[in-house]
Chains A and B, each alone.
Chain A
Amino acid sequence: MARAVTNQRKAINTAAAWAVGLLIFFPILWTILTSFKTEATAIADPPVFLAFDWTLENYSAVMERSNYARFLWNSIIIAGGSTILGIIVAVPAAWSMAFVPSKRTKDILLWMLSTKMLPAVGVLYPIYLIFIKLGILDSRIGLVIVIMLINLPIIVWMLYTYFKEIPVDILEAGRMDGASLKDEIIYILTPMAVPGIASTLLLNFILAWNEAFWTLNLTAAKAAPLTAFIASYSSPEGLFYAKLSAASTMAIAPILILGWFSQKQLVSGLTFGAVK
């Protein structure tokens, strides 16, 4: 029987949820607000919340100085490409771990995750040298591969969790009806795991979009995505907080909007299998 929830309790829960939500969202809100201030208002003490002369001059300054479209396009290609490539590699891997586990499957999963515990800078030089040899420094394809590899453990883990929820009997029934391995993965498993795959796609797209170590260190002029766009407005010697905020807002806006529209899938995907 479900627990009876009083109206009062409901109201408290709602208020608490809003408070937490606002607390998390506040830095982003503050960034957006600051982007409409002048540099002088941006550093005013005490800080000004809403009562200031709103201006678009930071946005026009940023647009004038930087080729936003190029950074944006690079971000889309890198985040999109690495996510799709990651899914293509991870679906078979997760399938085998979920449905044909061996004695070592758990160990392999943990080992994969352990690669995330290594500080990225520790492998900067080897990767940089490999990139030089392959001639893919400052190229989108190079970044697609690296970001895919960085996020692969997470993709495999997520897919593995979702696949585990799918009854193996259904796959067996397909096999009885003569489905080949390829058919089984493409026509039976994948459609059933669509919510899981969708949320994996989304989460990894966000992770790849926000990735700021490799995208800064392996790019120069050609393949630099929005992370480099933000970094070009930060300065330890000079107050450019309003312009930096405008650049940040422009960099996070696409992903924020994407997240907003797909939050239902994200939440259902992330909580999938959480309650048994």
Chain B
Amino acid sequence: MKLTNALFAASALVSVTATAAAAATLTIATVNNGDMIRMQGYTDDFTEKTGHEVEWVTLEENVLRQRVTTDITAKGGQFDIMTIGMYETPIWGANGWLVPLDGLSEEYDVNDILPAMRDGLSHDGTLYAAPFYGESSMIMYRKDLMEKAGLEMPEAPTWEFIREAAAAMDDDANDVNGICLRGKAGWGEGGAFITVTGNSFGARWFDEEWDPQFDQPEWKEALTFFTNLMNDYGPAGYATNGFNENLSLFQQGKCGMWIDATVAASFVTNPEDSEVADQVGFALAPNKDGVEKRANWLWAWALAIPAGTDNEDAAKQFIEWATSKEYIELVAENEGWANVPPGARTSLYETPEYQEVPFAKMTLDSINAADPKNPTVDPVPYVGVQFVAIPEFAGLASQVSQEFSAVYAGQQSVDEALEKAQAIAEEEMEAAGYR
């Protein structure tokens, strides 16, 4: 009797395992943002098409980064798909931690992915992650205040114009700040913004020999300009403002201009959340007059498969589904074109319905204006616009941005901060063996 039971149990187990091999359960780590959450709502569509189930692990961006980095470096195998950014992808790809995304189906049309995105998510010409959505940064400004100030925003303004406009729009009596920008410490917060500002003044993190460049006049000019601009026309306490703080200020009508991620456009033009929804105009991020690079970054949240997963085929199927043209159409059909994940595919910007979305063109122009391979005026040995795609950067840039935030908070001078930044970077690069 017992033997029969055991045999029965064993055969049941075998059949369960056999079914499991055909239909996998994918564990996907992802960030908490509107587009990703929306995708979770459409999981059933994927399951219906392929039979694979999906389990979501949604985490705050920084927690996610720590979590997936631990797992991939220790080969924990907890996730079949990871949501990672443009910073991690080339580094992890080079380390052999990710499954190359070759052999994607013809219908998927990999060449439709925007070239800037493809470049940023590849290493040595091999794509390691597929962009779910992409972003650059651009100027969002109040058309009504601009008009009141008697100015007209050019499509591609200079920093000099931005300063002039900020001065004209700044209105303490009505609680309006001329301009709101990120000052919060952290490589992905204020660090990202000051890095692209540096690019637009002709500065760079390293020269071709990996020598830090904070002792060069371009950095001094960029940091001095930013600090003066914000001290004169920015909100009080801007040294601790990040994306969310500025979004909140802008939505409540307290900023004349805001330069930040292009995804913010859909928030500030949404009448449910924004008091200024119908008054927002867009322009390319500025540059110093005569400098060819602009202060716009390039970022994508992308889906990648960690090497060693048991469900590689199913994971590839998911990535093809989630980053396909069909998925975009699915979202458009149910929630409107303004809610589709932007910035990943060329065909989206050729869709007539999408061209009517007010921020579509400027988003595309901004993405196209960013070149991760040649981010600065002078040549650099690294890839990345608002970051340097080397493993040491996150730690290094967090320290440097803390020094800069201390300048914004009035705790030290520009010269002191740059001197410290130079010393920190020299030490770090020395220790890591770049020099």
Which of A's residues lie within 8 Å of B, judged by CB? 39-40, 43-45, 65, 124-125, 128-129, 131-132, 137-138, 216-217, 220-221, 224, 228, 231-240
Contact = CB atoms under 8 A, between A and B. Distances in A.
A232 B32 contact: yes
A228 B272 CA distance: 29
Contacts, number: 93
A239 B244 contact: yes
9 contacts: A40-B273, A45-B248, A132-B76, A137-B76, A232-B60, A235-B60, A236-B60, A236-B61, A238-B32
B243 A237 contact: yes
Interface of B: 27, 29, 31-34, 37, 40, 55-63, 66-67, 70-71, 74-79, 188-189, 242-244, 247-248, 251-252, 254, 261, 263, 267, 272-273
A220 B29 contact: yes
Query: Chain A interface mostly helix, strand, loop or mixed?
Result: loop
B244 A128 contact: no
A237 B254 CA distance: 19
A229 to B, nearest CB: 9
B75 A132 contact: yes
B78 A220 contact: yes
B57 A128 contact: no
Given A236-B62, A236-B242, A65 B74 contact: no
B74 A129 contact: yes
Given A125-B74, A137-B76, A220-B27, A235 B32 contact: yes
Contacts of A233: 32
Contacts of B261: 237
B298 to A, nearest CB: 15
A236 B182 CA distance: 12
Given A236-B189, A239-B247, A231 B55 contact: no
B59 A232 contact: yes
A35 B419 CA distance: 45
Top 8 nearest A-B pairs (CB, nearest first) are A232-B58, A234-B60, A221-B55, A220-B78, A43-B248, A235-B32, A128-B74, A221-B27
Contact of B32 (A124, A131, A240): A240
Contacts of B75: 132
Nearest to B75: A132
Contacts of B263: 237
Given A231-B63, A238-B34, A220 B242 contact: no
Contact of B57 (A125, A224, A238, A239): A224
A228 B33 CA distance: 16
A224 B78 CA distance: 12
Nearest to A131: B76
Given A125-B74, A217-B67, A237 B57 contact: no
